[in-house]
Structure 1
């Protein structure tokens, strides 16, 4: 019998396993793939967003946990020895009209207490990023933004979780869940069955499917969004140094340029609704959209150095904010749903929230006296 079973071995599920590994009780993480972080975690922007790009109007939890997560990553990256690109970001205005919008965004941020909102002139921006278009009217420099190797990050967190006593079983797709007499019986594709007092649903795009195995009425609906990217190989690493954000819209943060720790540059993503939660493909239309948007940011982008493209599915739901709550029907079943952007950024803070503000409200938690591996910031 386990005390806590987590469904989903992406960056969020792995951080939750790590957080629980510091407390008394048996923790198990189940991941359907053969290795961790093979779906949403590695098919995204690999980006730790700065506070300005996570305003409260996008969701109170997204803003709060995104801000906390960014602060945690500043120390976590060094603690875990995970490759990161720390050059920061530029949020650029591509015209005089956009500059007016950018200044309003800055004023709103200052009123909300965001400190890092210094505006750069067109000349100042192009001095540090000479390949930006001459029409760029100005920008805000965001030093807290970074990109990271999210696959390695997830692996390092999972490794520490197991050394602290958590168990991680891969290749275990959940096929059925029964709840009776306060115990979840969880059946998997391998024919295994696990029992647990708590069940934490961090299954990403499969959140709704897992929830339907427990609840009669799932309180959200998955609305998957496909994000496509093209990648410039490391020979293009000197083309830009900073993450480049266009001015965001109500729909998305737009198409970005994201230098990676390995020297590659990710261009994307698009944002397209789709019905499938199981697969996403790169399309000709998606690449055209990315190129068109990048052409509005820089001169002569080195498309001759494209190495590959990829696509991922965001686990968006029919609500703006993250949905992190116990079930209304079965209290020990905990939803960690709607973890789209800024999910990677918020992941360590989401884990802390699940443990300290959700589970701890349901029953007292007792921290282990001696952890084999303690990650200080968590």
Structure 2
């Protein structure tokens, strides 16, 4: 009998396996892909947002778990030697009105206990980043921002989970989830049936599909949204030395310039509603939108160094906040949905929250006396 069965091996599911492997009980991850974090977790910005960009107004859970996750990412990156780009970020303003929003964001962040950010004049900003657009009015420097190699982090969290006894199955797609006398039965395409006391639905964009296998009605409403990116090759390294945010809006963080640990630079994402959760291909319209918006942030962008473009699907829901709750009908079934931005940033904090605030409130789980915390 499995104690904790996790559906989905993205960054959130793997972080959960890592967290649960430090507790007594048998933990198993089922991932339908050939690799871990092969879908949403690595088809995104690889961005660890700074606290200022995750205010409470964007959603209470997104703010709390995002800010905790930002801190935990820095700890995990050092512990597991994860490649990071850690020069901070600058949120920019094109107009006096947008500059006023940055001043408001600074005041609001300080009211919420974030005192690390600094306003930059136009001259100070261009001194740091000569290639930014000369018509920008100023910026807000946020030192905690970084990009991280999420594939490496996922692999090393998984290795640590395995060293603590967790089992991870790849190429294992689920076709049914049903209640049993002792907990749940999870059936896969090859006819195997896994028996587990708890099931954690961390299936990302497929979370609604998994929930629909067992719930009378899915307790959240999935909305497929596509994000597209351009990637400038390593020859562009140094063109921009900070993560660059566009002027903030109430809905999205917009299209960014995001230097990566490997020297490449990601431009994106777009935010486009689509009909399917299954396919996400970049489009000419998306690429044009990226270029148009990035051209307002910087000049002389070396698009000739573009090495690829790609798209990913966000696990968005109609609720603007994360959905992290036990099923009302089946309390030992825990749904993790709506983990779009800042889902990657929040991942390690989501894992801790599920264990400490949900599972521990259902039954006591005992931490191992001497778990392996660092080997990979």
Query: Structure 1 length as normaliser, TM-score?
Result: 0.98
Corresponding residue number in structure 2 for 1:374: 373
Contact 2:199 2:334 in 1 (8 A): yes
| 1:332 Cα deviation from its structure 2 partner | 0.6
User: How far apart are the structure 1 equivalents of 2:34 and 2:301?
Assistant: 37
Higher mean displacement: 243-252 or 260-269: 243-252
User: How far apart are the structure 1 equivalents of 2:248 and 2:280?
Assistant: 24
TM alignment of 1:1-378, pairs within 5 A: 1-371=1-371, 373-375=372-374
Contact 2:316 2:338 in 1 (8 A): yes
| 1:2 Cα deviation from its structure 2 partner | 0.3
Runs of 4+ in structure 1 off by over 3 angstroms are none
User: How far apart are the structure 2 equivalents of 1:332 and 1:100?
Assistant: 47
| 1:112 Cα deviation from its structure 2 partner | 2.0
1:322-349 Cα distance to aligned partner (Å, 9 max, x none): 1111000111100111110001100000
- Matched position secondary structure for 1:224: strand
| 1:95 Cα deviation from its structure 2 partner | 2.1
| 1:375 Cα deviation from its structure 2 partner | 4.4
| 1:98 Cα deviation from its structure 2 partner | 1.2
| 1:109 Cα deviation from its structure 2 partner | 1.8
| 1:182 Cα deviation from its structure 2 partner | 3.4
Query: Structure 2 length as normaliser, TM-score?
Result: 0.98
- Matched position secondary structure for 1:140: strand
Structure 1 regions of 5+ residues with no counterpart? none
Contact 2:101 2:248 in 1 (8 A): no
User: How far apart are the structure 1 equivalents of 2:178 and 2:246?
Assistant: 47
User: How far apart are the structure 2 equivalents of 1:183 and 1:364?
Assistant: 17
Contact 2:11 2:154 in 1 (8 A): yes
| 1:96 Cα deviation from its structure 2 partner | 2.1
Q: How many residues align?
A: 375
Structure 2 regions of 5+ residues with no counterpart? none
Contact 2:88 2:143 in 1 (8 A): yes
- Matched position secondary structure for 2:223: coil
User: How far apart are the structure 2 equivalents of 1:19 and 1:101?
Assistant: 38
